[in-house]
Structure 1
Amino acid sequence: MSTLTYWNPLRDIQDLQSRVLNALSTGSSRTAANKTDAPAADWVPVVDIIEDEKEFLIKAELPEVQKENVRVTVDKGRLILSGERKFEKEESGKTYHRVERSYGNFLRSFNLPENADADKVEAEFKDGVLRVHLPKQEKAKPREIEVKAE
């Protein structure tokens, strides 16, 4: 009986990058900014970012991800999409001949545009697509100041 092996080229590249960076840095030179509590990403969902006069809209494809396994966070000028797509439990009597889709944790992070209103971000999840709405702030309108004479 053969063993099923999952190949994720992105993970291989990330592992290599981590090993190279760890080899080049010393423990004392690592800063708190390099350490994160976020889970490592096993895959990266694809996104579209669309802008109109009212908002920025981010659409992320998350097929077969349950709503309960999706998190949207706004923190310090960053929008973070994270969660997990769980692998179907292998059942006896089934043989997987190929597994190309990625499973596990995912993480996407974006800098918020200066004119995005971080306090009014909304997210909706339907048909495997996460839609994050980033409303734009109203621009301050120039106003004329009356000059008074004494």
Structure 2
Amino acid sequence: MSTLIPTLRNGSKKTLDTSFNALPSLPSWFDDILGKSFGNEFMSNFNTGITLPAVNVIDSANEFVVEMAVPGLKKTDFEISIDNHVLAIGVEKKMENNEELENYTRREFGYSSFKRTFAIPESVDVDKISASYNDGIMKVLLPKREEAKKKPLRNIKIS
């Protein structure tokens, strides 16, 4: 049975080395301490400035469904692509605010992005993949090929 598999950009999470032979590197030590103290819900992707959204992957009889809660965005903020059986869902958002009054000027700007990738199994009909974004939920439907769909139980009579 094939399944939709999230791919990891930075590999698996490192754990703190408990041996006294080698000390962990400073960035790895900070990652371990912060990750254990706060949990993943408070950890942001410091390289991009946006929290990496959690994803639900549902395997039904006829399709895979990828659901991602990403409120506050527009459909046009997303880029969804498929390259060599890898589904990529990403957002890149630039914000700028300028305010000019008589005695001061205020300019604020920000940049945030994320990208989640998933290995697409051979059982998916890549040409029929679709996506929708409603009420802060990005939903990508990956229909299974006819031959990969689960068939109903069939009783066979013995002759």
TM-score range, shorter chain: 0.5 to 0.7
**Counterpart selection for 1:111 from 109, 113, 119:** 119
2:72 aligns to what? 64
1:74 aligns to what? 82
Distance in 1 between the 2:81 and 2:146 partners?
22
Q: For residue 63 of structure 1, report the CA deviation from its aligned partner.
A: 1.0
- Give the secondary structure class of the aligned counterpart of 2:53: coil
- Give the secondary structure class of the aligned counterpart of 2:147: coil
Q: For residue 137 of structure 1, report the CA deviation from its aligned partner.
A: 0.5
How many residues of Structure 1 are paired with residues of Structure 2 in the alignment? 97
Distance in 2 between the 1:50 and 1:88 partners?
37
- Structure 1 runs of 4+ with >2 Å offset: 40-43, 84-92
Distance in 2 between the 1:42 and 1:110 partners?
22
Q: For residue 104 of structure 1, report the CA deviation from its aligned partner.
A: 0.3
Change (3 A) 1:110 1:42: farther
1:46 is aligned to 2:54: yes
The residue type equivalent to 2:69 in the other structure is E
Q: For residue 71 of structure 1, report the CA deviation from its aligned partner.
A: 1.1
- 8 Å Cα contact 1:41-1:107 kept in structure 2: no
Q: Which runs of 5+ in 1 are unaligned?
A: 1-12, 18-39, 93-102, 141-150
Change (3 A) 1:129 1:91: farther
Q: Which has the higher strand share?
A: 2
Identity across aligned pairs (percent)? 33
Provide the alpha-carbon RMSD of the alignment.
3.0
Q: For residue 45 of structure 1, report the CA deviation from its aligned partner.
A: 1.6
- TM-score, reference length from structure 2: 0.52
- Give the secondary structure class of the aligned counterpart of 2:92: strand
Q: Which runs of 5+ in 2 are unaligned?
A: 1-12, 14-26, 29-46, 101-110, 149-159
- Give the secondary structure class of the aligned counterpart of 1:119: helix
2:103 aligns to what? none
1:123 aligns to what? 131
1:35 aligns to what? none
**Counterpart selection for 1:137 from 138, 145, 151:** 145
